[in-house]
Structure 1
Amino acid sequence: MKIISTTIAIGMFSFFLNTQVYAEDVGYRAEAIQHAEEAIKHGKMGHAEELLTYAKVSMGYAQAASNSGADDHMKQAVGHLVKAIGHAKMDRAGAATNHTRTAMSYMQESKL
């Protein structure tokens, strides 16, 4: 009987630990998408500097989600955000916006 209760306790503990990691992943992913949307909005207006700011923040959250166990879609999103940041630094809002859009679509496809 003691073995069964110990097994149940360990199982419940594992469940709650996994739930917390999942919640963090979802939060990082949501923040990354939100900041990518802002970057795209500014990119459409030709504001490369503002796009750069939001893309950097989005990339930080996307990297955190990726490090917390998100799938390869999030890693691809990070790659496109790196490209978007590079274009934004060269004041190329159009190209940066396109990469940010692609990154956002990968983030939305990402499964945690």
Structure 2
Amino acid sequence: MKTISAIFSIAMLAFFLSIPAYAEDGAAEFKKHKADATRHLEEAIKHGKMGHAKELSQHAKESLEHAKKAKESGADEHMDKAIEHLEESIKHADMGHAEEGTKHAEEASSHLRESKASKKD
């Protein structure tokens, strides 16, 4: 019985010591996906300003995927707003409206810059 108690105690200790590592992984994932979302969004805006609706849509879609992953990793409400504007940007770009799509991409960029990892208790 002492052996089982010792094994259980060691397992619980290992579990609780690993929790900070998971929290750090979440923050690292957030930063990586936010950076990737930002990079693609900058490309989307650049192409949108040139009137390239197709390229705007492609890069906005890539940015959206990373923004969603950043949200899953733990992000604040600014990421939600960035995602909303990215979806609008894609919708307009897919209709060939590069100018309107670019406006939403720029708004998404503003929210993306403001976004931070949310604090988890």
* Equivalent position of 2:27 in the other structure: 22
* Alignment partners' CA distance in 2, 1:17 and 1:78: 25
Q: TM-score, normalised by structure 2?
A: 0.83
* Equivalent position of 1:47 in the other structure: 52
Q: Which has the larger radius of gyration?
A: 2
C-alpha RMSD of matched pairs (Å): 1.8
* Alignment partners' CA distance in 2, 1:41 and 1:61: 18
Corresponding pairs, count = 109
AA aligned opposite 2:99 = G
TM-fit CA distance, 1:9: 5.7
AA aligned opposite 2:49 = K
* Alignment partners' CA distance in 2, 1:19 and 1:100: 30
Give 3-state SS (helix, strand or coil) of 1:46's partner. coil
State which of 73, 80, 89 in structure 2 corresponds to 1:75.
80
Q: Which runs of 4+ in 1 moved over 3 A?
A: 6-12
Structure 1: any 5+ residue segments left out of the alignment? 1-5
State, as a whole percentage, how many aligned pairs show the same letter: 43
Structure 2: any 5+ residue segments left out of the alignment? 1-9
State which of 99, 102, 105 in structure 1 corresponds to 2:104.
99
